[in-house]
Structure 1
Amino acid sequence: MTAEQKKKLERKLWDIANELRGKMSADEFRDYILGFIFYKYLSEKMYLYANKILEQDGIEYLSIDETSADGEAYLVAVRTEAVAELGYMLKPSELFSRLAKSGQNGEFILDDLTKVMNNIEQSTLGTESEQDFDKLFEDLDLTSTKLGRSENQKNELIAKVIVHLDMIDFELENIEGDVLGDAYEYLIGQFASGAGKKAGEFYTPSQVSTILAKIVTMGKDRIKNVYDPTCGSGSLLLRVERELAKDAKPMFYGQELNRTTFNLARMNMLLHDVHYRRFDIRQENTLTHPAKEHTHLKFEAIVANPPFSAKWSANQIFESDDRFSQYGRLAPRSKADFAFVQHMIHHLDENGTMAIILPHGVLFRGAAEGHIRRYLIEDRNYLDAVIGLPANIFYGTSIPTCILVFKKCRENPDDILFIDASGDEHFEKAKNKNALRKKDIAAIVEAYSAREFKDKFSYVAPMSEVAENDFNLNIPRYVDTFEPEPEVDLNAVTDALAKINVDTHAIDERIKGYCKELGIEAPL
C-alpha cells in the first residue's frame, strides 16, 4: 500500500467515525468506532485462519452449514485450533461481513451484534486468552439513547457505520506493512486531538513516543521485554517495538487505571498483530495496587507518560514497600511524580533503560521530592539524562515537560547529560498545539547518543557541578540559552536624537505660522 493509499484509508475511517460524531462526544464515539473496527479485524482474521485450516478439505468457511452434523464437526475442529492460535472463535454467521449484509438489507442487527460481542468473550473462557478478552466490548453500549431515540434509529445508524466499514479492505494478508495498525493509531491520535483534558489519559503524541522508544532501545536490535506502568492505549509500548529488528518479538507488560482505556490498550495490541501470549496488560492503580503478576519481574526497557502531578495516597504503609522503602521518604500526597519514578526504578533490570515524561517541577521542587532526587543521583547514581521539551505539546495541558532517563549500570557514571529542546527553533507551532518535527526528534536523539557539549542545546555536567547546585536539575542552570542584546551604537543614537530635535523645531515654527493666520494663540 502506497503512502497516498494509506492516507486515503485513514481519511475514510475518520469519515465513517464522523457518522457518529454529531450524536456524542469525541471520547464516546471513539469507543464505538474503534470497537467496530476491532470486531471487523477479528472477523477477517478468523475468516483467513479458518480457510487455511479447511483448505485441505476444499471447504470455504462461509459455506459451512452450522445446523448440519458435518458443519458442527468442522466448527469444533476449527474452534480448537482458532482458540489456541488466535485466542477466540467466531462462527461463519457471526462474521462482520454477514452482519453488514443483513444491515444493508434493512434487517434489525442490534440484537445479533450484542450476541456476537458476548460470544467472542465466551469463546475464551477457561483458555489462556481469557484475561485478554474479558469484557473487551463492554464500552459498546448499543442501548444508548445517544445512538437514537428509538431502536430503529439506533439500528439504522449502527448498520450504516458497519456497512461502510465492510467496504474497506484492511489488507490483513499484507505481511509487509501494518496497514490497519497504523490506521488505528491515526484514529487514536485524531480522537485525542478532540478530547481535551481526557486525551492525556490515553495518548502520548507520536513524536514524543518516538524519542522515548529510540532512547530505551539505543544500541539494541532486540530486547526481551518492555513495560509501561501507565500504558493508556498501549501506543507507547508498541512504538518501542518499531525501533527493533523486524523479527524481534519482545513481551509487552502494562498497567492502566481507566477501564475504558485498558480495553483500548488490549484492542490496540491485538490489532497490531501482537499475539495474546505476548502481552500482559492489567487494570488497576499502579501505585497503590501494582499487578501481582508483575511483582517480581524486571524489565529491559521501561517507558511511561504518567498523569502529571497526580494525587496518590502516600499512606505510611508504603514506607515498608520494597519500591519505596530504601528512599526514606515517600513522594508527597499531592504530587505522585516521584512515586512513579520509584515504582519504575524498582522494576528496571540491571541492563535496562528507563525513560519517563514528567513536569518540570520534579527538577527543582524541594522537601520529600528533593530528598528522593538527591538519593537517586548521589546514592544510587541512576540518572543518566534530563531532556527539556517545548511547552504545549501534550493533549490536556500546556505546561513544559521533560524526559528523565535512568539506568542502573550507566556507561557514563561521572556526569549527567542535559538537553534543552524547549526553544522556539526546536519545534513547530501548529494550530493550537506545538509539534516536534522529524529534525527536532533527530536532534534530541543524536544529542543523547553523542553526549557532548553543543552551544545553547546540550551540556554534560560533572557530578561535582550537580552537587554544587544542591542536586537542583533545573535545565537553565546547566544549558546556557541566553541571547545577548545587540550592541547599541551611541553615536548613531545621538545623531538620531539631534535630527529629531531639528525636525521638531521646524514643525513648531509651522504650527506658529498657522495659528497666526487663524488669529489664535500658538500652543506652548
Structure 2
Amino acid sequence: MSEEYKKILEAQLWNIANTLRGKMNADEFRDYILGFIFYKYLSEKMDIFANEILKQDNIKFRDITAKTVDGNEFIEAIKEEALEKLGYFLKPEELFSEVAKRGMGDNEDDVEKFDESKTNFILEDLQKILINIQLSTMGTDSEEDFDNLFEDMELNSSKLGKTPEARNAIIAKVLTHLDKIDFKLEHTELDVLGDAYEYLIGQFASGAGKKAGEFYTPQEVSKILAKIVTTGKSKLKSVYDPTCGSGSLLLRVAKEVEDVSDFYGQEMNRTTYNLARMNMILHGVHYRKFDIKQDDTLEHPQHIDKQFEAIVANPPFSAQWSANPLFTSDDRFSQYGKLAPSSKADFAFVQHMIYHLADNGTMAIVLPHGALFRGGAEQHIRRYLIENKNFLDAVIGLPANIFYGTSIPTCILVFKKCREHPDDILFIDASAHFDKVKTQNVLREQHINLIIDTYRNRTETLKYSKKATLVEIATNDYNLNIPRYVDTFEAEENIDIEVIANEIKALDESITATDKTIADFCAELNISTPF
C-alpha cells in the first residue's frame, strides 16, 4: 500500500508544483512548493501531537481559541511540550488547513473549479505565520535548526504575480490543492511523504541543469555511497557530509541501517542549506539528532573537533578554493606537505574528510576521473595516502553522463583508516554498465548490486574488477587510472583475407552476370544500356 500511495502522492505533488511552473524558473518555484509542503507537514505534525495531549480532555486542538482563559492555558501548556518534543509551535489558527480554508474564500470544495477571483486575502497572515514558526523557537534548543528557514519564500515577490491580488490568488490556489492531500502522518511506520519529497527534489534537479549539482546527488549514486559506508554495520553513531546539499545523501545512509544516532553536514549555499534542514525534519529526524551548518567547508569548517563513523560526499567537481599558504599549518592538510591546487579542490575535500574520519569508519567520495591521474600536488597527495597511510581501499569507475548538468565520467574513492585488506586496492570498472534513458545514462538495481557485491566480496572479475598490489600501484607512479589495472581491451575478430578475397571475386562475377542481363533487356527494348 505504501509504495502505491507514494506514487499517487508524488504525482499529486508534482501536478501542484506545475501550478507555478509558468510563472518562474524551476529553481524559484522549487523553493515555494517545497516550502509549502514543509509548512503543511509541520502543521499536521503539530495537530497530531496536540490532539494526543488533549485526548483526555475530549478537545480538538483546532477548536481551541485564545480568546478564552481555558484556551490560553491549553495553548501555553501545549506550546511548552511542543517546543521540547517537536522543536517549534503553531497556534490553532496558524495551522495550514485553517489558512487554506480562509484563502479558499467563496470557492466550492471542488478544487478543479477553483475561481481565483473568489479567494480571500491571506498573504500577510501567511507571511507572519512563517515568521512566527521561527520566532517560536527563540531561546530554545531548536532555534538554530529553524533560523530563517522560510527566508526564500518571499510571498510579496513579483515573480508570483504583478499585483498583491494576483500573488494572493496563486498562493491560495496552491494551498487549497495541497490541503486536499492526506500525508498519512498518523501512520508513523510509513515514510511516503519523505520519499515523495525526495522525488520532487530529484524532479527539480533534472530541470535545473548545471545548478542541480549544487543540491542533488542522483539516488542511484547515493545508494552506492550509502551501501559502501554501511558495509558490515547495522547501526551508526554518526554520519557526515561536508557538502550536504539537500541532505539526501545523509538520509540515504540512514535507510541502509537500523539507526543513526547523529547526522552532521555543512552546506555553503544558503537556499540549499534551508532545504537540507527542511528535508531532515520532514523525514522525521529529530532536531536534536542533526547538526547542519552553513558555510564554506574548506575555508570555514564548522565541525572541526569531531570524527565520524561514516562520511559521504559528492563535492562540486574540480571547484576552486583559496589554497591559502596558511592552510599548510591546518591539521587537516599539514601532514601531506602540499595543498591541493587552487584550481581544483578535489583532494582538499579528500584531506578534509580523512581528518574527520574515525578509526573504525569508512568514507566514500565522488570525484571527476581527472583526480585519479593528474600530476603535481594531487599526485603527491595520492602517493602519501597510499604509501605513507595506506588508507585507500577501493576505486570505482562510474559511467559518464549520470549526473545532472555534466556528462563527464566520475569515480568513487573509498577510504578506511583500518583496512581489512591492507595489501591491495580494489579497482572496479562499472563505466560500461548502465541503461540509456533519453539523454541520460541511468544505473539500474542490477548495476548497483554488482558494484556493491564486488566491493564487499572483493571479487576479481575479468574486464570488471581487479585487486592491485601496492607495489603495482607504486610501479605506476600512483596513477590510479582504472584501465591501468582493469583490462577491458576487446580484441577485434580475426579476418581471413583468403575468405574475403573469394567473397569479393564472387561478388564481381555476380555483378558481371547482372550487367549482361540488363544489357540483353536494353537490346530487346532498343535503348541504350546505362553503363
Give me the TM-score of the superposition, normalised by structure 2: 0.95
Determine if contact 1:516/1:522 at 8 Å carries over to the other structure: no
Answer yes or no: is 1:238 the counterpart of 2:251. Answer: yes
Give the aligned partner of residue 110 of structure 2.
none
Task: Provide the C-alpha distance between the structure 1 equivalents of 2:416 and 2:506, rounded to a whole number of angstroms.
Answer: 65
Task: Provide the C-alpha distance between the structure 1 equivalents of 2:463 and 2:426, rounded to a whole number of angstroms.
Answer: 13
| C-alpha deviation, 1:2, in angstroms | 3.6
Answer yes or no: is 1:144 the counterpart of 2:157. Answer: yes
> AA paired with 1:39?
Y
SS at match of 2:152: coil
| C-alpha deviation, 1:375, in angstroms | 0.5
| C-alpha deviation, 1:521, in angstroms | 11
> AA paired with 2:350?
V
> AA paired with 2:276?
A
> AA paired with 1:454?
T
Count the aligned residue pairs. 517
Match of 1:271 among 282, 286, 304: 282
Determine if contact 2:6/2:193 at 8 Å carries over to the other structure: no
Map 1:462-473 onto structure 2 (within 5 A): 462-473=469-480
> AA paired with 2:30?
R
Match of 1:458 among 454, 460, 465: 465
Task: Provide the C-alpha distance between the structure 2 equivalents of 1:131 and 1:18, rounded to a whole number of angstroms.
Answer: 32
Task: Provide the C-alpha distance between the structure 1 equivalents of 2:49 and 2:189, rounded to a whole number of angstroms.
Answer: 18
Answer yes or no: is 1:219 the counterpart of 2:232. Answer: yes
Question: CA RMSD for the aligned pairs?
Answer: 1.6
Match of 2:392 among 364, 383, 390: 383
Answer yes or no: is 1:498 the counterpart of 2:505. Answer: yes
Task: Provide the C-alpha distance between the structure 1 equivalents of 2:221 and 2:197, rounded to a whole number of angstroms.
Answer: 18
Deviations 1:342-384 (A, max 9, x none): 0000000000000000000010000010000111111110000
Answer yes or no: is 1:476 the counterpart of 2:487. Answer: no
Deviations 1:52-98 (A, max 9, x none): 12222222111112122221111111111100110001000100011
Determine if contact 1:31/1:139 at 8 Å carries over to the other structure: yes
Match of 1:303 among 306, 312, 334: 312
Give the aligned partner of residue 418 of structure 1.
427
Give the aligned partner of residue 182 of structure 1.
195
Match of 2:378 among 344, 369, 375: 369
SS at match of 2:425: strand
Determine if contact 1:45/1:172 at 8 Å carries over to the other structure: yes
Give the aligned partner of residue 98 of structure 1.
98
SS at match of 1:460: strand
Deviates more, 1:234-243 or 1:69-78: 69-78
Deviations 1:443-482 (A, max 9, x none): 0000001102101111011111111111110000111111
Give the aligned partner of residue 8 of structure 1.
8
Give the aligned partner of residue 354 of structure 2.
345
Identity of aligned residues (%): 64
Give the aligned partner of residue 342 of structure 2.
333
Determine if contact 1:419/1:444 at 8 Å carries over to the other structure: yes
> AA paired with 2:61?
Y
Q: 1:520 to 1:97 in 2, by over 3 A?
A: closer
| C-alpha deviation, 1:146, in angstroms | 1.5
Deviations 1:384-420 (A, max 9, x none): 0000000000011000000000000000000000000
> AA paired with 2:368?
P
Determine if contact 2:5/2:192 at 8 Å carries over to the other structure: no
Match of 1:283 among 294, 303, 325: 294
Determine if contact 1:232/1:262 at 8 Å carries over to the other structure: yes
| C-alpha deviation, 1:512, in angstroms | 7.3
SS at match of 1:443: helix
| C-alpha deviation, 1:149, in angstroms | 1.0
Q: 1:101 to 1:468 in 2, by over 3 A?
A: same
Determine if contact 2:2/2:192 at 8 Å carries over to the other structure: no
| C-alpha deviation, 1:499, in angstroms | 1.1
SS at match of 1:495: helix
Give the aligned partner of residue 27 of structure 1.
27
> AA paired with 2:298?
L
Give the aligned partner of residue 128 of structure 2.
115
| C-alpha deviation, 1:495, in angstroms | 1.1
Task: Provide the C-alpha distance between the structure 1 equivalents of 2:184 and 2:528, rounded to a whole number of angstroms.
Answer: 89
Deviations 1:295-353 (A, max 9, x none): 11000000000000000101111111110011111100110000000000000000000
Give the aligned partner of residue 84 of structure 2.
84
Answer yes or no: is 1:193 the counterpart of 2:206. Answer: yes
> AA paired with 1:284?
D
Deviates more, 1:312-321 or 1:479-488: 479-488
| C-alpha deviation, 1:516, in angstroms | 12
Q: Unaligned stretches of 5+ in structure 1?
A: none
Match of 1:430 among 437, 440, 446: 437
Give the aligned partner of residue 112 of structure 2.
none
Q: 1:430 to 1:516 in 2, by over 3 A?
A: same
| C-alpha deviation, 1:509, in angstroms | 5.4
SS at match of 1:224: strand
Q: Unaligned stretches of 5+ in structure 2?
A: 106-118
Deviations 1:185-243 (A, max 9, x none): 01001111111111111010101100100000000000100000000000000000100
Task: Provide the C-alpha distance between the structure 1 equivalents of 2:511 and 2:49, rounded to a whole number of angstroms.
Answer: 90
Q: 1:374 to 1:71 in 2, by over 3 A?
A: same
Determine if contact 1:515/1:522 at 8 Å carries over to the other structure: no
Answer yes or no: is 1:401 the counterpart of 2:410. Answer: yes
Deviates more, 1:27-36 or 1:54-63: 54-63
Task: Provide the C-alpha distance between the structure 2 equivalents of 1:244 and 1:499, rounded to a whole number of angstroms.
Answer: 68
Determine if contact 1:364/1:473 at 8 Å carries over to the other structure: yes
Give the aligned partner of residue 60 of structure 1.
60
Match of 1:486 among 488, 493, 502: 493
Task: Provide the C-alpha distance between the structure 2 equivalents of 1:453 and 1:239, rounded to a whole number of angstroms.
Answer: 28
> AA paired with 1:7?
K
Task: Provide the C-alpha distance between the structure 2 equivalents of 1:196 and 1:519, rounded to a whole number of angstroms.
Answer: 64
Q: 1:507 to 1:70 in 2, by over 3 A?
A: same
SS at match of 2:216: coil
Determine if contact 2:237/2:262 at 8 Å carries over to the other structure: yes
> AA paired with 2:341?
P
Task: Provide the C-alpha distance between the structure 1 equivalents of 2:284 and 2:437, rounded to a whole number of angstroms.
Answer: 33
| C-alpha deviation, 1:489, in angstroms | 2.8
Task: Provide the C-alpha distance between the structure 1 equivalents of 2:124 and 2:529, rounded to a whole number of angstroms.
Answer: 94
| C-alpha deviation, 1:18, in angstroms | 0.3
Task: Provide the C-alpha distance between the structure 1 equivalents of 2:176 and 2:525, rounded to a whole number of angstroms.
Answer: 87
